[in-house]
Amino acid sequence: MAGIDGGSAAEVVIDTRVDPSGALVVTVSGELDMSNASSLEATVASITAEGPERLIFDLSGLRFMDSAGIAVLVSATSKVNAVQLRDPSPVVRRVIELTGLSGVLPIEP
């Protein structure tokens, strides 16, 4: 939320890897908002161009997410067969639940 006061953009760190099951995992940490959601959108576009079946977003280090971040996650659901959220922080979990998106963006047990 650093960008609200007109200052610098929020900082987000995005990393990708393949987990032992072969699923692509996108780890997102920091703050995801309209000032940097395009970075995640570009990562997702690059990954989904390869046609993966499943995409996992590890959100354990994500401290904040606004509607721009949610839009990127929801958009990913139209590009792969399955999208799951892994270990979202309590704040991010609450956003997903309050928006009613836990059916579209299921959280791994």
Pairing assessment for the beta strands 82-86 and 12-18 based on DSSP bridges:
unpaired
- What's the domain range around 57? 2-98
Query: Which tens digit of pLDDT belongs to each residue from 31-84?
Result: 999 999 999 999 999 999 988 999 999 999 999 999 999 999 999 999 999 999
The total domain count for the chain is 1
Is residue 101 a contact partner of residue 94, using CB atoms and an 8 Å limit? no
| Dihedral sign for Cα atoms in the order 25, 85, 91, 4 | positive
Is residue 89 a contact partner of residue 26, using CB atoms and an 8 Å limit? no
In this prediction the pTM is 0.89
What CATH number corresponds to the domain at position 68? 3.30.750.24
Is 8's pLDDT higher than 70?
no
DSSP string, 9-24: PPPEEEEEEE-TTS-E
- In a domain, residue 50? The reply is yes
Is 1's pLDDT higher than 50?
no
- In a domain, residue 103? The reply is no
Q: Please report which confidence band the pLDDT of residue 3 belongs to, taking 50, 70 and 90 as the band edges.
A: very low
- In a domain, residue 107? The reply is no
Average pLDDT, the chain: 91
